[in-house]
């Protein structure tokens, strides 16, 4: 009894399904986007995504409180004004704080650039400069808090209008200031490791397990740029609105 063998055509690996299935197949087979990303970088992106939701909820709560209150909302130009030589200058401190924090993004970007080149001295110096700018921002924010507290601003009220102003201010700026403070600490720690050559020698310890790998500098850059970007939204919604 003779049997006939049926030859099946070989599946073309380049042939992709059409429509949405094709898009899904293309994304799921992308080797570079999913398989060559380090664990640390992937976890940082996940953390930043979760933090985006938290800051977003805070800003939405602030906008809801401001639009729903029947009591007049305090004028930011008056509340955050500083008296210089007898003249009140509106938002001058906030403008300087914003300039300092945005400038720190530039030094952080240069630090990442020199980290790719494995220039440890310039990388460490720029990270220290970034930390100094971040600490300056936190110091000015502490001055801003002190000024408002002495003027009677509390989480449950303030002398200028709606009681929700104080709680919104301390919650949003305090949460952001905590992020900046944590970033400054990590910048100092990592900059010290870069300066000592821990990444070049592969010295055992936190963030230095792989010899010659400066990826932690880039991961720190992702966090710092995120903190700066969040401040832009806080500045726009809280101080300019």
SS3 content of the chain, % helix, strand, coil (to 5): 70, 5, 30
What string of DSSP letters covers 130-173?
HHHHHHHHHHHHHHHHHHHHHTT-BTTB-TTS-THHHHHHHHHH
* Mean pLDDT value of segment 129-133: 97
Higher pLDDT among residues 30 and 108, named by residue: 108
Q: What is the pLDDT of residues 17-30, one digit of tens each?
A: 666 776 666 555 54
Higher pLDDT among residues 13 and 145, named by residue: 145
Q: What is the pLDDT of residues 148-176, one digit of tens each?
A: 999 889 988 888 888 899 999 999 999 99
Please, which pLDDT band fits residue 208 given cuts at 50, 70 and 90?
A: low
pLDDT at 179 over 90: yes
Go through the domains of the chain in sequence order and give each one's CATH number: 38-239 (1.20.120.80)
Residue 4 confidence (pLDDT):
44
Residue 196 confidence (pLDDT):
87
């Amino acid at each position: 009894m003779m049997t006939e063998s049926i030859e099946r055509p070989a599946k073309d690996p380049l042939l992709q399904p059409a429509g949405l299935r094709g898009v899904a197949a293309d994304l799921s087979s992308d080797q570079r986007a999913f398989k060559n990303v380090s664990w640390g970088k992937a976890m940082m992106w996940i953390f930043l995504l979760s933090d985006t939701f938290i800051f977003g909820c805070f800003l939405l709560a602030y906008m809801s409180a401001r639009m729903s209150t029947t009591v007049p909302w305090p004028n930011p130009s008056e509340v955050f004004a500083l008296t210089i030589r007898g003249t009140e200058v509106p938002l001058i401190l906030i403008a300087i704080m914003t300039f300092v924090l945005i400038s720190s993004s530039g030094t952080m970007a240069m630090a990442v650039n020199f980290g790719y080149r494995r220039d440890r001295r310039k990388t460490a110096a720029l990270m220290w400069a970034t930390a100094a700018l971040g600490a300056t921002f936190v110091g000015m924010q502490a001055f801003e808090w002190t000024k408002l507290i002495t003027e009677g601003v509390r989480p449950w009220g303030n002398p200028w209008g709606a009681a929700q102003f104080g709680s919104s201010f301390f919650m949003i700026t305090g949460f952001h200031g905590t992020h900046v403070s944590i970033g400054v600490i990590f910048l100092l720690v990592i900059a010290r490791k870069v300066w000592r050559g821990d990444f070049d020698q592969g010295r055992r310890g936190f963030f230095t397990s792989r010899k010659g790998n400066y990826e932690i500098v880039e991961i720190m850059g992702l966090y710092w740029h995120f903190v700066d970007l969040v401040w832009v939204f806080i500045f726009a919604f809280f101080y300019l609105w």
